[in-house]
Amino acid sequence: MTSLWRTLPLAATIALAACSGATTPPENRCLPIVIPAPPKMVYPANGATGVPDGNFTLVLTYGFGSSLTLSATGAPTVTTSGVTTLPNGAGYAVPALQPATTYTVTGSVVISPGPGCGNSTSTMVFGTFATI
């Protein structure tokens, strides 16, 4: 009877280790990707009309990557240059745009879930505005 009581803790330890599912060290596991809610457009506001046709600062509630893409049907795609931290968010310098055109503002950021897991790119639409 004594030998049975001595081997039970060892058998329980082996059984628990086998059932834990831990096959790789924690530092090599891929983490779940959590994509935050996209920032909101402060200026111009989403859906705004009568926006100047370029050379202004587009402001988001927080920064999302180092540049944004402004695209419109029938107009060349435009990329903002640089990002500046502002008291009310992040500012992106917008170059000249086509007049009387509706632009869609998007941004992309590369997300890494962990070492050896590969990166993924998340692209989000922030809104639209129309130039005068």
* pTM score of the predicted model: 0.72
State pLDDT tens for residues 5-25: 444 344 443 344 444 445 555
What is the CATH number that goes with domain 28-131?
2.60.40
Out of 11-20, 65-74, 103-112, least confident range: 11-20
Adjacency order of strands within the sheet including 102-111: 48-51, 120-131, 102-111, 69-72, 75-79
State pLDDT tens for residues 28-68: 678 777 767 789 999 999 999 999 999 999 999 999 888 99
Predicted confidence at residue 28, as pLDDT, reads 61
More confident residue, 20 or 84: 84
User: Which residues are paired to 43 by β-bridges?
Assistant: 59
